[in-house]
Amino acid sequence: MTQTELLWIAVKTIVVVAIVFSYVPALIILERRLAGFIQGRWGPNRVGPFGTLQPLADIIKFILKEDIVPERADRFLFLAGPMLVYLPPAIGFAIIPFGNQIGDQKLQIANLSIGLLFVMSVLSVGVYGITLGGWASNNKWSLLGALRASAQLISYELTLGLTILLAIMMAESVDPQVIVNNQVQNGWGIIGGGTLWALPCGVLGFTMLFIASMAENNRLPFDMAECEAELVGGYHTEYSGMKFAMFFMGEYVAMLLMCCLIVTLFLGGWHFPFITDPDNHSIVAGLISVGVFLAKVTTLLFIFVWIRWTLPRFRYDQLMGLGWKVFLPLSLVNIAVLAVIDIFVKG
């Protein structure tokens, strides 16, 4: 690897990290304001213009709070828990192609040919954070919450993997660049990636990926992990101060990664008809494509928040039933149908 390549990777890393870490507080304030709006309230609107500095105040509060480690907790694992929740999704951004290429530079930190497998493996590490956090707390409620959360994550990872496989089948590659380029040329994954016959597969796959990613992130219709009603807060009962904030923000980072992934796999990545031109590699066109990507991600995030404040929670057996009895067979059938369609259409 030459020095210029390394320099480019460093620049892209800084840009992506800056985007991610400015999105997380923005997401928190968006979530709280929208929650207020949906419930007929204003939400936090005192700190800064329209309450935009509220996350900053939250962070200051979290830092100044007493950081308690329970007496009989395993200190090392107790510290490792939040970090393992926070870091893996942040690493996952490395393979997201967030824009059309500028010159000969692809807007993607690491151009891995096994991109999606990397993201899948990184996402499953997130389960360890939750499990370790709950286990190390030495608290029955935390342990039960962690068990629940990890069971939920593992069962929905199946659906997640199978729907991602759908996108891989459409593009015939696990490289995110190829997947996006395929969608740019043939049509978005949500409409079947080119063949009209595959339209139902695309729509179903997108819907299942969307719902499964909500379950993966412990978002509200599936927030068994938190279960404040029956498990006193679940796996992060014993966490306070900045460690709790790590859990909290890790959830949002994972949500952002999920939205990026959905956009990359099914919603055409940085491409939007008549706005981005895939053959134009100038700086302006590149920036426009980044804007389109971010707009798509933001729309998805808005829908995530919107759903959270609309729906009540599932019961735990309903959640597992939905995961194993509905989504798993459906996604398998979906893949089989797409395979058959591919054989007959593409030959």
Q: How far is the CB of 21 from other proteins (least distance, A)?
A: 27
Residues 129 and 146: their CA atoms lie apart, in Å, by 9
CB of 307 to other proteins, least distance (A): 7
Out of 64, 230, 310, 345, the residue judged to bind other proteins by CB under 8 A: 310
Residue of the chain from 7, 10, 39, 56 that contacts other proteins (CB under 8 A):
39
| Spacing of C-alpha 227 from chain mean position | 21
Q: Which one of 41, 61, 315, 325 is in contact with other proteins (CB under 8 A)?
A: 41
Tell me if 311 contacts other proteins by CB under 8 A.
Answer: yes
Encode burial over 171-204: b for 16+ CB neighbours within 10 A, e otherwise: bebbbbbbbbbbbbeebbbbbbbbbeebeebbeb
> Quick one: which segment of 40-48, 139-147, 234-242, 246-254 binds other proteins (CB under 8 A)?
40-48
Closer CB to other proteins, 41 or 61, in the complex: 41
- Which is closer to other proteins, CB of 128 or CB of 309? 309
Query: How far from chain centre, in Å, is Cα 302?
Result: 13
Residue 309 binds to other proteins (criterion: CB under 8 A): yes
Residue whose CB is less far from other proteins, 42 or 76 = 42
- The stretch among 7-15, 38-46, 105-113, 258-266 that binds other proteins (CB under 8 A) is 38-46
Kindly state the smallest distance separating residue 41's Cβ from other proteins, in Å. Answer: 5
In the bound state with other proteins, the residue whose beta carbon lies nearer, of 204 and 292, is 204
Which x/- pattern, by CB under 8 A, does the window 236-265 give for other proteins? ------------------------------
**Contact string 260-299 vs other proteins (x = CB under 8 A):** ----------------------------------------
Task: Indicate which single residue of 53, 125, 307, 337 sits in contact with other proteins (rule: CB under 8 A).
Answer: 307
306 interacts with other proteins by CB under 8 A: yes
> Which one of residues 9, 19, 38, 47 is an interface residue with other proteins (CB under 8 A)?
38
Instruction: Name which position in 2, 3, 4, 40 contacts other proteins (CB under 8 A).
Output: 40
List the one residue from 9, 15, 26, 34 that touches other proteins (CB under 8 A).
34
Q: How far is the CB of 59 from other proteins (least distance, A)?
A: 25
Contact (Cβ atoms closer than 8 angstroms) between residue 189 and residue 265: yes
Nearest to 293 by CA among 324, 319, 272: 272
Q: Would you state the structure tokens that stand for residue 263, as one six-digit string?
A: 């956009």
- Minimum CB distance to other proteins smaller for 21 or for 42: 42
What is the closest distance, in whole angstroms, from the C-beta atom of residue 213 to other proteins in the complex? 16
Residue with tokens 């709280």: 32
Alpha carbon 169 to chain centroid, angstroms: 21
Q: Which stretch binds other proteins (CB under 8 A): 36-44, 65-73, 117-125, 270-278?
A: 36-44
- Closest approach of Cβ 244 to other proteins, in Å? 27
The residues of the shown chain that bind other proteins, judged by CB under 8 A, are 34, 36-42, 306-307, 309-311
